[in-house]
Amino acid sequence: MTTPVLAIHGGCGAIPKAELTPELDLAARAALERALKAGYAVLEAGGAAIDAVAEAVVVMENDPVFNAGYGAALNKGGFHELDSSIMEGTTGRAGAVAGARRLRNPVLVARRLAGEADPLLLIGEAADAWAQEHGFETVDNSFFTTPSRQEALERMLERERQGTLAAAPERDKHGTVGAVALDRHGHLAAATSTGGYTAKPVGRVGDTPIIGAGTWADDRTCAVSGTGKGELFIRRALGHEIHARMLYQGTPLEEAAHAMIHTEMTALGGGAGLCAVDHEGNVTLPYNTEGMYRGWMKGEELYVAVHED
């Protein structure tokens, strides 16, 4: 029996250290801890990695500290389009939703889709309708809006008018939540959920619902969940690339993941981060931004962090 491992991220667009008040810091850490404990309880009870990652992501989707579910980023049209996916590493089953507007917990719908023969990925209104038909909670799109996301949208639109978009701080650009797990039976899974980036074009889909880009799991190698400039994750098939380097080159997880974030993504000029676990339970949480909400749990050990410590 393997000691279960769970690792999570709450996005690589963490508030800069200088601006992080003790209250915000505490709230973020408490939220990460809640997510870890909820997911880990599933693993401790002998549950499947895919259920543990869904559980951890639900806790973060429900917390407005993070850009996913309630408190997700607003697009340029002033509304929310939510992306999520999940994958398990034994059979390669996966499920995903993109551009959903009314799913209270997008990851739960992705989880259910992973149990279906098909479809694997549903978009927009079709995703909302499918979820409703299958008994999932749906809400009005305005449910996801918080004052701080509204302010972030206004700041980004103002930057667009002024032509200073590129200089926007990472925290206004990024956010996503994700979890990876190794269960007692040696199975891996990954799940990711996001509102995308603030002021993204209507209909834009990032890496989060794209299997092989923002989410990947294979029992032979690793489980990966990404955060950061989604277009670059898609262009590099980042999750799958880490898996491939491990499988075909024998590269250890840490080395493969760090190379993708610190060499590839940095060279492309994108803020990026990820959480990953390999089939032996090794965890890595690289990021190239100022901070990334992150943590892991293994047995009695629990770690959470926002910046470098």
Separation between Cα atoms, residue 88 and residue 216, nearest integer Å: 8
Separation between Cα atoms, residue 27 and residue 234, nearest integer Å: 32
Residue 300 Cα to chain centre, angstroms: 24
Enter the tokens of residue 101: 């507007």
The answer to whether the CB of 66 falls within 8 A of the CB of 59 is: no
3-state secondary structure 159-207: HHHHCCHHHCCHHHHCCCEEEEEECCCCCEEEEEEECCCCCCCCCCCCC
Separation between Cα atoms, residue 50 and residue 239, nearest integer Å: 17
Residue 256 Cα to chain centre, angstroms: 19
Residue 176 is a catalytic residue: yes
φ/ψ of residue 89, rounded to 5: -90, -5
Q: Which residues bind ligand ASP (CB under 6 A)?
A: 11, 13, 174-176, 194, 196-197, 206-208, 214, 227-228, 230
The helix (H) or strand (E) run that includes residue 128 is helix 124-133
* Residue whose CB is less far from ligand ASP, 89 or 228: 228
Among candidate residues 176, 194, 221, 284, the one labeled active-site is 176
Residues with catalytic function: 176
